[in-house]
């Protein structure tokens, strides 16, 4: 039984060591492909893999077809928009994620980005504080919940909108649910985006929503670039010099955004929300344990594709 870690953006070494321990204690073999520059390297590496642990690595129909022995793919993280679920199902491959395991790391980065923007990129000029401001959490999943917890520590008023989460469940955590996503955008000084990239959410953060944001608003995106309508964002930033946008996922129009809106637009060099030793350990070891449980006990608890 061969388990392949295929991570273009590698885990911390301590996480790889932890995964190796889990895999080898189960009597399986571990292979490692990191920082690959060409898709062919991935296609070659998956040929004899029974299980694969990935991050944002693209596992499309071609990769699945090349992996003749593949039984299970675990996305060590939350979003699985990088995996072709239909191709996996057609090939009899189980796809899982590791929900919640990197959520705190992403949530902490939200506040790193937020303070960086509110304190004017630490350029020495007078900025603003978080205390007393309203933060709107757009999708109240594992990351959103962690954002809420941290926001309360800063003395922020916390609002959330999630079409799949009951109002009572949000309210029970001391967070105010809004009746619509529009209401969230029009009510908050800060919006933190946590929606997954699906066919329904792609480009859904568009002019209609952005135009509702109050004066001086800040948006932080640690979710996916695809959920933003980039042309609308560009036009909104042009029309609203009071608005600031920081993202952990470099948009396609990054160079133009940077040139036009330096100081109030920021993108990390590489998606790094989940890039902490703790998150790598949590998600990586959970992925290894899920593979062992799947192979030994047919446990597919975190399965995200159809059988
Ligand atoms: C996730 O979906 O878990 C996060 O976006 C982190 O992605 P990464 O593992 O590629 O850093």
What is the three-state SS of the chain? CEEEEEECCCCCHHHHHHHHHHHHHCCCEEEEEECCCCHHHHHHHCCCCCEEEECCCCECHHHHHHCCCCCEEEECCCCCCCECHHHHHHCCCEEEECCCCCHHHHHHHHHHHHHHHHCHHHCCCCCCCCCCCEEEEECCCHHHHHHHHHHHHCCCEEEEECCCCCHHHHHCCCCEECCCHHHHHHHCCEEEECCCCCCCCCCCECHHHHCCCCCCCEEEECCCHHHECHHHHHHHHHHCCCCEEEECCCCCCHHHHHHHHECCEEECCCCCCCCCHHHHHHHHHHHHHHHHHHHHHCCCCCECCCC
- Do the bridges between strand 51-54 and strand 2-7 make them parallel or antiparallel, or are there none, so unpaired? parallel
- Do the bridges between strand 94-97 and strand 51-54 make them parallel or antiparallel, or are there none, so unpaired? unpaired
Q: Residue 269: what pLDDT? A: 96
CA distance 260 to 258: 6
pLDDT in tens, 235-252: 999 999 999 999 999 999
CA distance 299 to 161: 33
- Ligand 1 centre and the CA of 103: distance in Å? 9
Assess whether the C-beta atom of 56 lies below 6 angstroms from ligand 1.
yes
Assess whether the C-beta atom of 271 lies below 6 angstroms from ligand 1.
yes
Assess whether the C-beta atom of 224 lies below 6 angstroms from ligand 1.
no
- Ligand 1 centre and the CA of 279: distance in Å? 10
Assess whether the C-beta atom of 18 lies below 6 angstroms from ligand 1.
no
Q: Residue 55: what pLDDT? A: 98
- Pick from 9, 52, 79 the residue to mutate for probing ligand 1's pocket: most ligand atoms within 8 Å of its CB: 79
Q: What is the pTM of this model?
A: 0.97
- Ligand 1 centre and the CA of 241: distance in Å? 31
- Ligand 1 centre and the CA of 106: distance in Å? 9
Closest CA to 114 of 91, 137, 87, 94: 137
Burial 55-75 (b: 16+ CB within 10 A, else e): bbbebeeebbebbeebbbbbb
Four-point Cα dihedral 257, 259, 264, 266, nearest 10: 60
Assess whether the C-beta atom of 99 lies below 6 angstroms from ligand 1.
no
CA–centroid distance for 232 within its chain? 22
Assess whether the C-beta atom of 97 lies below 6 angstroms from ligand 1.
no
- Pick from 11, 16, 102, 147 the residue to mutate for probing ligand 1's pocket: most ligand atoms within 8 Å of its CB: 102
Q: What's the mean per-residue pLDDT of the chain?
A: 98
pLDDT in tens, 160-210: 999 999 999 999 999 999 999 999 999 999 999 999 999 999 999 999 999
Q: Residue 258: what pLDDT? A: 98
Q: Which residue has the tokens 């975190």?
A: 302
- The domains found in the chain, sorted by start residue, are 2-101+275-297 (3.40.50.720), 103-267 (3.40.50.720)
Assess whether the C-beta atom of 221 lies below 6 angstroms from ligand 1.
no
pLDDT in tens, 16-45: 999 999 999 999 999 999 999 999 999 999
Task: Please state the atom number of ligand 1 nearest to the C-alpha of residue 97.
Answer: 3
């Amino acid at each position: 039984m061969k388990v392949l870690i295929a991570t273009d953006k590698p885990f911390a070494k301590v996480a790889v060591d932890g995964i190796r321990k889990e895999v080898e204690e189960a009597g399986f073999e571990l292979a490692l492909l990191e920082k690959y520059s060409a898709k062919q390297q991935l296609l070659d590496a998956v040929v004899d893999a029974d299980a694969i642990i990935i991050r944002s690595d693209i596992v499309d129909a071609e990769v699945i077809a090349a992996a003749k022995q593949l039984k299970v793919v675990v996305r060590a993280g939350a979003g699985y928009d990088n995996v072709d679920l239909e191709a996996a199902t057609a090939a009899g491959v189980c796809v899982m994620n590791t929900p919640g395991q990197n959520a705190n790391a992403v949530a902490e980065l939200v506040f790193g980005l937020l303070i960086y923007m509110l304190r004017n990129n630490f350029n020495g000029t007078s900025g603003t504080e978080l205390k007393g401001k309203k933060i709107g959490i757009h999708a109240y999943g594992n990351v959103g919940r962690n954002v809420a917890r941290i926001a309360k520590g800063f003395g922020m008023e916390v609002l959330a909108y999630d079409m799949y989460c009951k109002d009572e469940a949000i309210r029970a955590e001391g967070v105010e649910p809004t009746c619509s996503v529009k209401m969230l955008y029009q009510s908050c000084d800060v919006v933190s985006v946590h929606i997954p990239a699906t066919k329904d959410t792609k480009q859904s953060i568009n002019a209609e929503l952005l135009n509702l944001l109050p004066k001086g608003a800040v948006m932080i995106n640690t979710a996916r670039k695809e959920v933003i309508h980039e042309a609308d964002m560009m036009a909104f930033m042009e029309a609203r010099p009071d608005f600031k946008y920081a993202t952990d996922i470099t948009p396609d129009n990054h160079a133009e955004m940077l040139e036009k809106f330096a100081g109030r637009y920021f993108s990390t060099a590489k998606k790094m929300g989940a890039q902490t030793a703790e998150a790598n350990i949590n998600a990586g070891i959970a992925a290894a344990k899920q593979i062992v449980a799947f192979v030994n006990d047919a446990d597919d608890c975190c399965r995200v594709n159809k059988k």
